[in-house]
Chains A and B, each alone.
Chain A
Amino acid sequence: MSELTLTVMRLGFLAVLWLFVIVAVQVIRSDLFGTRVTQRGARREAARPQQAARQNQAPPQQRQQSGGGRGRRGAPTKLVVTEGTLTGTTVALQGQTITLGRAHDSTIVLDDDYASSRHARIYPDQNGQWIVEDLGSTNGTYLDRSRLTTPTPIGPGSPIRIGKTVIELRK
Chain B
Amino acid sequence: MSSTTNPSTHHTSTIGAIGAPSRRNTELALLVFAVLIPVFAYANVGLAINDEVPAGLLSYGLGLGLLAGVGHVVVRKFAPYSDPLLLPLATLLNGLGLVAIWRLDQSELLQDIQQAGTAAPRQLMYTALGIALFVAVMIFLKDHRVLQRYTYISMLGALFLLLLPLVPGLGKNIYGAKIWIQVGSFSIQPGEFAKIVLAIFFAGYLMVKRDALALASRRFMGLYLPRGRDLGPILVVWMVSILILVFETDLGTSLLFFGMFVIMLYVATERTSWIVFGLLMSAVGAVGVASFEPHIQQRVDAWLDPMKEYTLSRAGVGGHSEQAMQALWAFGSGGTLGTGWGQGHSELIRFAANSDFILATFGEELGLAGLMALLLLYALIVERGVRTALAARDPFGKLLAIGLSGAFALQVFVVAGGVMGLIPLTGMTMPFLAYGGSSVIANWALIGILLRISDTARRPAPAAPASPDAEMTQVVRP
Contact = CB atoms under 8 A, between A and B. Distances in A.
B337 interface: yes
B84 A27 contact: yes
Contacts of B34: 20
Interface of A is mostly: mixed
B40 A16 contact: yes
Contacts of B377: 20-21, 24
A140 B473 CA distance: 7
Interface stretch (B17-25, B101-109, B176-184, B209-217): B17-25
A63 interface: no
Contacts of B472: 140, 142, 145, 147, 161
A161 B373 contact: no
Contacts of A58: none
B48 A41 contact: no
A51 interface: yes
Interface string A5-36: 11101111110111011011101100101111
A67 B477 CA distance: 43
B88 A24 contact: yes
A97 B47 CA distance: 77
Given A1-B48, A13-B366, A162-B473, A33 B20 contact: yes
Interface string B316-346: 0000000000000000000001111101000
A164 B475 CA distance: 10
Contacts of B116: none
Contacts of A103: none
Interface in B1-25: 1-5, 7, 9-18, 20-21, 23
A88 B1 contact: yes
Contacts of A99: none
B11 A41 contact: yes
Is the interface on chain A under 10, 10 to 19, 20 to 34, or 35 or more residues? 35 or more
Given A9-B44, A14-B367, A142-B469, A38 B14 contact: yes
Contact of B17 (A35, A78, A139): A35
Contact of B373 (A7, A18, A166, A170): A18
Contacts of A53: none
Contacts of A92: 4-5, 7, 11
Contacts of A131: none
B380 A161 contact: no
Given A10-B341, A17-B37, A41-B11, A114 B16 contact: no
Contacts of A159: 469
B15 A31 contact: no
A40 interface: yes
Contacts of B11: 40-41, 51, 91-92, 107
A45 to B, nearest CB: 9
A141 B473 CA distance: 7
A114 B370 contact: no
Contact of A7 (B10, B340, B367, B477): B340
A75 interface: no
A9 B339 CA distance: 11
Nearest to B458: A33
A64 to B, nearest CB: 17
B118 interface: no
Contact of A9 (B16, B23, B341, B370): B341
B369 A86 contact: no
Interface in A79-109: 80, 83, 86-92, 94, 107-108
A86 B1 CA distance: 13
A147 to B, nearest CB: 7
Nearest to A10: B340
Contacts of B30: 20, 23-24, 27
Q: Which 4 A-B pairs have the closest CB atoms?
A: A41-B10, A10-B340, A88-B15, A17-B373
Given A10-B338, A17-B37, A24-B30, 18 more contacts: A13-B366, A13-B370, A14-B338, A21-B380, A28-B383, A33-B20, A35-B17, A80-B1, A88-B1, A91-B11, A139-B473, A140-B473, A141-B473, A142-B469, A142-B473, A161-B473, A162-B473, A166-B467
21 contacts: A6-B340, A6-B343, A10-B341, A13-B366, A16-B40, A24-B380, A25-B380, A27-B26, A31-B85, A34-B18, A35-B15, A36-B17, A41-B11, A89-B12, A91-B12, A92-B7, A114-B474, A138-B477, A145-B469, A161-B469, A163-B474
Interface of B: 1-5, 7, 9-18, 20-21, 23, 26, 30, 33-34, 37, 40-41, 44, 47-48, 51, 84-85, 88-89, 92, 337-341, 343, 366-367, 369-370, 373-374, 376-377, 380, 383-384, 467, 469-470, 472-477
Interface of A: 1, 5-7, 9-14, 16-18, 20-21, 23-25, 27-28, 31, 33-42, 51, 78, 80, 83, 86-92, 94, 107-108, 113-114, 138-142, 145, 147, 159, 161-164, 166, 170
